[in-house]
A and B are shown apart, each in its own frame.
Chain A
Amino acid sequence: MSAVTERPAPVVDPGDPRLRDRTTMRSFIALGILVALLAVLPFVLDEQSQTVAIRTLIFAIMAVGWNLMSGYGGMFSFGHAAFFGIGAYTSAYLLVEHDISPWIGMGAGAVLSAAAGTLIAFLCLRYRLAGAYFALATFAFAQVFLLAVQNIDALNRTEGFNVPILPEESWSMMQFDQGSPIYYWIPLGILTIGLAGTIWFVHSRTGQYVQAIRDDEVAAESLGIPVMRYRLITVALSCGFTSLAGAFYTQYYFFVGPEQAFGAAVSVNAIVPAVIGGIGTIWGPLVGALIVGPLSEWLTEVLRDPPPFLDFLQGLTGLDVAVYATLLILIVLFMPKGIYGTLRDRFRS
């Protein structure tokens, strides 16, 4: 369909099951080591850095979710805020209005999000929206959700939800002491599930079909692959997973409002790390998040207290986003496969 989503080199040769198993195994082992390394970070980091790390993990979760649908599925979503927002609002609503544990709220949000995503994607695909039209439609749906939430009394309109703060730690209510490493391990756990899911998905029959459909829809259809069904499965996985980030977001920041949940900037936060790291690769979204998250934090830091030769930057707001926007443009121009994708190709050849 385009230069960005078309990645001709298949991740594995599906013809050889032994090779497939070996690559899958290797990816899982890499994931295990990586997670073990990341899991000890809270013992090393100070509280400020841990906040950055948690935000980075939220970016990564969103990017991993987005990548499933847009990278592997080839259905470019500009409206992932819709699914992040459904996750955030469902868990917040259930907790605040009905006192239901955020763990259950998280699950409910994922189910609702997957259902909404499937319905939206079904409509878009049924009416054969592709490329730019598909992106615009998803964008519009996210905007509709934003406006709807702003106008529904039961969802507190523009005021959003404040999560009641409990006097003591509670596992069932997902509340811990400020700076507790558990706040870091929860998103890390979600991310691990997402990455493991992606590895499984990429190498599974479903995933292979989905990639075949992305690369050549007509050919896939003529081979008898039920195109719609496999696309919708991908969308459901992607949307359900993205909503977990939203649910955790509410829980961690104790607040969610329409803009934080459904704003266009949220969709951008899902897209940018994936593009910078590499669309349609397992590790790309993570690599992208690890760059974008700390980078914007570091820039904010520099602006707050600039070194002497950069004194003129003092107090300038906007530089952090400007820098990552520039990075986005440069990556799309010169490294269409993203940082991870480009490096991987270089090492292979």
Chain B
Amino acid sequence: MSDTVTGSQTRTEGRLRVPALPLGVTLAVVVALVGVYVFGQREAGLVTQSIATGLLLGGVYALVSVGLTLIFGVLGIVNFAQGAMLTLALYLVYTMTSSWGLPVYVATLIAIPVMYLFGVLVQTTLLNKLTLAGSHEGPMLITLGLSLLIANVLLMIYGGRPLKVGGSVDGSIHLFGAIASYERVIAFVGALLVALLLTVILRKTSFGMSIRAVSANAQGASLVGVDVSRIYGMTFGIGSACVAVAGGLMAPFLSLTPSVGEQFTILAFVIVVLGGLGSVGGAMVGGLVIGLVQTVGALYLPGTGSLILVFAVFVCVLFFRPQGIFGAKP
């Protein structure tokens, strides 16, 4: 997917620099963390806990971002409704667990195809015409409207009272002095599996090849017999299904309100731009980096202060390397 960045890029990097950059970023992160341990004037145990929390949180962020990056990379749509779709998935899981008494992870398995169909429906009925016409602002406005619609319909049905999904795995594990609950570890592992699965699908299957062909050159792909609007629909469907996985894995440790997904939309944008729009691996690395920046930054900047760091990273990347860490030249 790293060949699918759309938008405007000015600089053309040498081919060799692209694989070197992720390595550089990883090194930089490691060096920064060691710096925090040595010079940070914070208790080592506290730092370890922040890093563990940050990585686990980052995995979850990545899960939301993977869908967003796929949708942007292939369709060129900035999906403002990604967070709202996450909320929708969360409420689906909540309804299945509370009304039918299903275990959370079983409910997630059911939510995946439902959200996939929802995504296909949204793309085919609302977005296809504008996407095929190559419009940027049109789909952006529609997904904006969709996010308002989803959040407020949920508000009408469930009310604004925070809800809790119960019945998950209790307990926690200790690693190097840090504590992590099983629920968060499961979410992290699930995120890795989904990213791996997506990468395999995109690289190895003929369906994945069609997706890559469409993202590289929709017109060319349609000339050689790829049904472009069908691929568009399926891609948006997969992007939504990713959110369903994210919703299911996050449900045990989130407090549900109709606007719970909003914060994830913003963060997912940051992560996707950081990792390179259209790059699945980039979304994973971006997610982990942002998770770390947020939790380790919180050691020094209380309240929402650490989010300013997140946005500072975002703006710098946007200006100096709009194609992100993994994004290649257009």
Contact = CB atoms under 8 A, between A and B. Distances in A.
Nearest to A127: B319
Contact of A319 (B137, B152, B266, B318): B152
A136 B318 contact: yes
A316 interface: yes
Interface in A102-140: 123, 127-133, 135-137, 139-140
B152 A318 contact: yes
Given A321-B152, A329-B149, A333-B129, A129 B322 contact: yes
Interface string B99-139: 00000000000000000000000000010011001111110
B311 to A, nearest CB: 5
Given A4-B135, A132-B136, A332 B141 contact: yes
B153 interface: yes
B133 A129 contact: no
A148 B133 CA distance: 39
B208 to A, nearest CB: 24
A76 interface: yes
Interface string A122-165: 01000111111101110111011001101100000100000000
Interface residues of A, number: 46
Contacts, number: 148
Interface string B312-325: 10110011101000
A311 to B, nearest CB: 15
B162 to A, nearest CB: 15
A329 B146 contact: yes
Nearest to B148: A325
A144 B149 contact: no
A326 interface: yes
Contacts of A317: 155-156, 159-160
B8 A322 contact: no
Contacts of B303: 150-151, 157
A1 B314 contact: no
Interface string A1-44: 11111000000000000000000000000000000000000000
A82 to B, nearest CB: 12
A141 B315 contact: yes
A138 B130 CA distance: 23
Contacts of A150: 303-304
Interface in B255-307: 258, 262, 266, 269-270, 273, 301, 303-305, 307
A147 B322 contact: no
B140 A143 contact: no
A270 B53 CA distance: 38
For B10, B130, B145, B301, the residue with the greatest tally of chain A CB atoms inside 10 Å of its CB is B145
A129 B76 CA distance: 15
A115 B266 CA distance: 25
Given A137-B315, A144-B311, A268 B148 contact: yes
A328 B7 contact: no
B311 A333 contact: no
A271 interface: yes
A264 interface: yes
Contacts of B319: 123, 127, 129
Contact of B145 (A123, A127, A325): A325
B308 interface: yes
A123 B320 CA distance: 11
A137 B270 CA distance: 10
B78 interface: yes
Contacts of B202: none
A271 B311 contact: no
Contacts of A5: 137
B305 A3 contact: no
Interface of A: 1-5, 76, 78, 123, 127-133, 135-137, 139-141, 143-144, 147-148, 150-151, 157, 264, 268, 271, 275, 316-319, 321-322, 324-326, 328-329, 332-333, 336
12 contacts: A78-B140, A127-B318, A136-B318, A137-B318, A144-B311, A147-B307, A151-B305, A271-B141, A318-B258, A321-B151, A329-B126, A329-B142
Q: Which 6 pairs from chain A and chain B are nearest by CB?
A: A318-B155, A318-B152, A325-B148, A328-B145, A2-B135, A322-B152
